[in-house]
Amino acid sequence: MQLYNSATRKKEEFQTHTPGHVEMYTCGPTVYHFAHIGNLRSYIMEDVLEKYLRYAGYDVNRVMNITDVGHLTSDADEGEDKMLKGAKRENKTVMDIARFYTDAFFDDCRKLNIKTPDVVQPATGLIDDYIHIVSTLMEKEYAYFSGGNVYFDTSKLDRYYVFNDHNEEDLAVGVREGVEEDTNKRNKNDFVLWFTKSKFEDQALKWDSPWGEGYPGWHIECSGISMKFNGEYLDLHCGGIDNAFPHHTNEIAQSESYLGHTWCPHWFHVHHLNTNDGKMSKSKGEFLTVSLLEEKGYDPLVYRMFCLQSHYRKGLVFSWDNLDNAVGTFNKLIGRIANLKPGGEVDEAAAQELKDKFKAALDNDLNTALAMTAVYDVLKAKTTDATKLAVLDDFDQVLSLDLLAKAEVKRKEAEKAAAAKSAGGYTILGEGDPAVDTLVMQRYEAKKAKNFAEADRIRDELKAQGIEITDVPGGAKWSRI
């Protein structure tokens, strides 16, 4: 498998420390608010990556943190603690906020068919581990105590910047643009390993430590959790591209200084979901969540497919029009699968040929857009319906779009619509698509029941799919626009 590595800035063969086994770490959510669909794009693509590694024969141990302390609003060492901010916003305790939004996150994941990692660890559960790592870094003189906090000394590293090239003088004392200078730091890019009350007098969560009562920095949490559950050698670290600096840069610095050897050779970063106005974030006016998609009538799996149609290393632009197009594509795909007749023999040779195309797409830097093309290749293939259904079911181990289950629902709806048409003498003229025929019949039944709002809604849904419906004597006629 060729997979792009952010650390080397090139595609390279994915290799693991132990052959056939992958130690995988995913940066989890900071649970102070709902995840927006931009956050969830990263988790969808990481889910596809994990499932494809398993599909390809690897044994995978995937670990994910839940950040419930220590993440400041600047993503560096400045601003307010995000968890404290959430607690103040809702007048609840930090732990109440953490529990509520952790549950909400995994509920969103369930709706998007994102598998729960093998290990999920809240940051507050491993405080002693962080203290041990920080103490060791101080003993090895990679860290220092200043102004009540413990800082990592980046000047001790031969190379601090891993994901971008910078000049050596960038390590001099100063400030990153937009970040207030911390005069306790020896160097501009030094970062906090442990905060004490010198940072926030009213911090809700704090623990005793050799340096005073306080709490861990955001970056040390991920290193501690990964080393606890993945071991000393991590094969694959995943996250959004916005985590590359400073978060992942700092993870590498502290982990390798603590361990004394290379920690993680391969880094997988998913690029942003953007709106027409720029990068999506919780601080902007439009806060798009899975629940909002559902309220507007969208199946969350349509959003999953929308993400799969693009490459993870390309920015993806979200708009309601783009999502409507995905609805039409998804429904048409399910309709075509519903037309396949279950039963019969599977042609194993033909199936393997189709699977090889699918695997080739994903072996090429997890190219999910080409993998979706492989789905259509199955539908066009000159082989039995049984073969096509078996192959699509195989692909869905990775894609997780519920292709066969949704097609079966459509198939049964079409059979019900055909029976109703036969009984009521209502004739549907069109291209013989059972999914469309079902909607047309549902519209007829709504009109017959004088539920005109529902009839209009179905007409609009068909129109969004590019289908025009015309009432004719004794039935209706539809055509693709």
DSSP H/E element including 464: helix 452-464
What pLDDT does residue 448 have?
87
338 residue type, one letter? A
Partners of 210 in the β-ladder = none
Per CATH, is 275-404 categorized as 1.10.730? Answer: yes
Confidence bin at 282 (pLDDT 50/70/90): low
End-to-end alpha carbon distance in the chain: 41
| Tokens encoding 137 | 């870094």
Rounded Cα–Cα distance for residues 443 and 469 (Å) = 10
Q: What is residue 35's DSSP assignment?
A: P
Q: What Rg do the C-alpha atoms of the chain give, in angstroms?
A: 26
Confidence bin at 355 (pLDDT 50/70/90): very high
Residue 175 pLDDT more than 50? Answer: no
| Tokens encoding 61 | 């141990």
Please compute the mean of the pLDDT values over residues 135-144 and round it to a whole number.
Answer: 98
Q: 134 and 143 in contact (C-beta within 8 Å)?
A: yes
Partners of 316 in the β-ladder = 273
Residue 44 pLDDT more than 80? Answer: yes
Handedness of CA 62, 70, 122, 301 (dihedral sign): negative
Q: 302 and 330 in contact (C-beta within 8 Å)?
A: yes
Please compute the mean of the pLDDT values over residues 50-59 and round it to a whole number.
Answer: 98
Residue 446 pLDDT more than 70? Answer: yes
Provide the CB-side half-sphere exposure for 329 (13 A, CA): 20
The larger pLDDT score, comparing residue 333 to residue 437, is at: 333
What pLDDT does residue 366 have?
98
Confidence bin at 279 (pLDDT 50/70/90): low
DSSP string, 109-135: HHHTTPPPPSEEEEGGGGHHHHHHHHH
Handedness of CA 286, 291, 292, 293 (dihedral sign): positive
Q: Name the percent of the chain lying above pLDDT 70.
A: 90
What pLDDT does residue 199 have?
58
Residue 235: Cβ-neighbour burial (10 angstroms; 0-12, 13-18, 19+): buried
Confidence bin at 173 (pLDDT 50/70/90): very low
Confidence bin at 237 (pLDDT 50/70/90): very high
* Residue whose structure tokens are 């491993």: 126
Please compute the mean of the pLDDT values over residues 116-137 and round it to a whole number.
Answer: 98
What pLDDT does residue 474 have?
76
Which residues in the chain are classed under CATH 1.10.730? 275-404
Q: Name the percent of the chain lying above pLDDT 90.
A: 71
Confidence bin at 359 (pLDDT 50/70/90): very high
Please compute the mean of the pLDDT values over residues 23-28 and round it to a whole number.
Answer: 97
What pLDDT does residue 283 have?
56
Rounded Cα–Cα distance for residues 391 and 381 (Å) = 11
CATH of domain 16-270: 3.40.50.620
b/e per residue 26-47 (b: at least 16 CB within 10 A): bbbbbbbbbbbbbbbbbbbbbb
Q: 328 and 465 in contact (C-beta within 8 Å)?
A: yes
* Residue whose structure tokens are 């390279």: 12
Q: What is residue 156's DSSP assignment?
A: G
Residue 373: Cβ-neighbour burial (10 angstroms; 0-12, 13-18, 19+): middle
Which residues in the chain are classed under CATH 3.40.50.620? 16-270
414 residue type, one letter? A
